[in-house]
Structure 1
Amino acid sequence: MPVFFIILSMTEFQKYIQRYQDLVPSENWIEEMKISGERTSSLYKFLSEEQENFAYAAGKWTLKEVLQHLIDAEKIFAYRALRFAREDKTPLPGWDEEDYGKTYSLENRNIESLVEEFETIRKSSVIFFGNLDQIQLSHTGIANGNEISVEHLGKLTVGHNIHHLNVIDERYMTTITPLL
């Protein structure tokens, strides 16, 4: 008897989510959430003021802005996950990271404060996601017009963080390493 496979094309949203989830190195994504958080904190704690304000090209974010973006994204992903874990079916709007970035106003904010905020939201995320059961993790909701599960939001948080760590390694650190 022949076997037929139906190949479904992934939506742009599914591709977006998948590219981040593919970066999570193990099935234990809660542990990976801790590890990527520690890597991020460690990296930022040792940057000079010149380095934290460095952008690798015109129009790109500074390292300080990247950290603020990670904080914003994690808060948004966690908020969505909380709503969906509690079976709130209200569709949630999308957000534009570039628009958010235009309003950062980080000139008077020191890196220590940003690192503290990142560590706080990351600890909260680890505790929140780590205490959800499989049923809660499987709950879904609509964000930005697309259905997504609580578990996928957790994995997205990790993969998104790892993505930015990779970008920092590839595009920022190669340029600022001589400054270290």
Structure 2
Amino acid sequence: MEVHELSSSEYPEFYQTYISNIPKEASLGMLFRSNIEDLKEITSTISPDKLSFRYAQEKWSIAEVLQHLIDVERIFQYRALCISRGEQTSLPGFDHDDYVVQSEAGNRSLDSLQEEAETVRSSGIVLYNGLSEAMLQRKGILNGGPASVRAIGFIIVGHTQHHIKILQKKYL
């Protein structure tokens, strides 16, 4: 499955920013793996004493960005699982800023954040590997709009890629 196979009716318009970050001819499985490798490469250049760095006063620290990536991926994996199992209840949104504030990411080590990011991604790969084509195409309601399970996978990758670009441009 490749991103060019998606229809815009498979995800809320808000997520187009993330979908547009993805190479059109790459499979989701390959993207899951290469994307986490890109994140590992970036985090390997971060000095542990720089985890609290913010490029502006009101912006998240590097640790908070990493924790945000972990939290969002977990939430989207849960959403994909729910929809793949036929859930028709509208799945709620969440306030990512509140999650960051409550995460206490500043108390985490770089190693622990890296390990958790890799573990969560590995879990997602296993989840998606266990889904049939019919499950991948199932649609549910996400933040009030339709979303397919396969689109959620690409959103996960695109979201991570979006923040990798921000880390490269603003933090490193």
Q: TM-score, normalised by structure 2?
A: 0.88
Residue identity matched to 1:102 = V
Distance 2:85 2:166 in 1: 34
CA distance in 1 between partners of 2:119 and 2:95 (Å): 23
Q: What corresponds to 1:90 in structure 2?
A: 89
Tell me the equivalent position of 1:152.
151
Q: How far does residue 107 in structure 1 lie from its aligned partner after superposition?
A: 3.2
1:134 is aligned to: 133
Deviating more after overlay: 104-113 vs 153-162: 104-113
Runs of 4+ aligned residues of structure 1 deviating over 3 Å after TM superposition are none
Paired residue type of 1:145: G
Give the root-mean-square deviation of aligned CA atoms. 1.7
Q: How many residues align?
A: 163
1:1-20 paired onto structure 2 within 5 Å: 14-20=12-18
Whose Rg is larger? 1
Residue pair 2:90, 2:140 contacting (<8 A) in 1 also: yes
Query: Structure 2: how far apart are the matches of 1:41 and 1:52?
Result: 15
CA deviations on 1:80-105 (whole Å, 9 max, x unpaired) are: 00000011212211101111111121
Aligned match of 2:164: 165
Q: Quick check: 1:45–1:112 contact (8 Å CA) kept in 2?
A: no
Match of 2:37? 38
Give the corresponding residue for 1:176.
Answer: none
Deviation of the 1:20 alpha carbon: 0.6
Q: Output the TM-score relative to the length of structure 1.
A: 0.85
What CA distance in whole angstroms lies between the structure 1 residues aligned with 2:89 and 2:59? 34
Work out the CA distance in 2 between the residues paired with 1:137 and 1:78: 12
Counterparts of 1:113-124 in structure 2, within 5 Å, are: 113-124=112-123
Change (3 A) 1:83 1:17: same
Give percent identity, aligned residues only: 36
Any gaps of 5 or more consecutive residues in structure 1? 1-9, 174-180
- Alignment partner, residue 27 of structure 1: 26
Q: Shift of the alpha carbon at 1:43?
A: 1.9
Gaps of 5+ in 2: 1-7
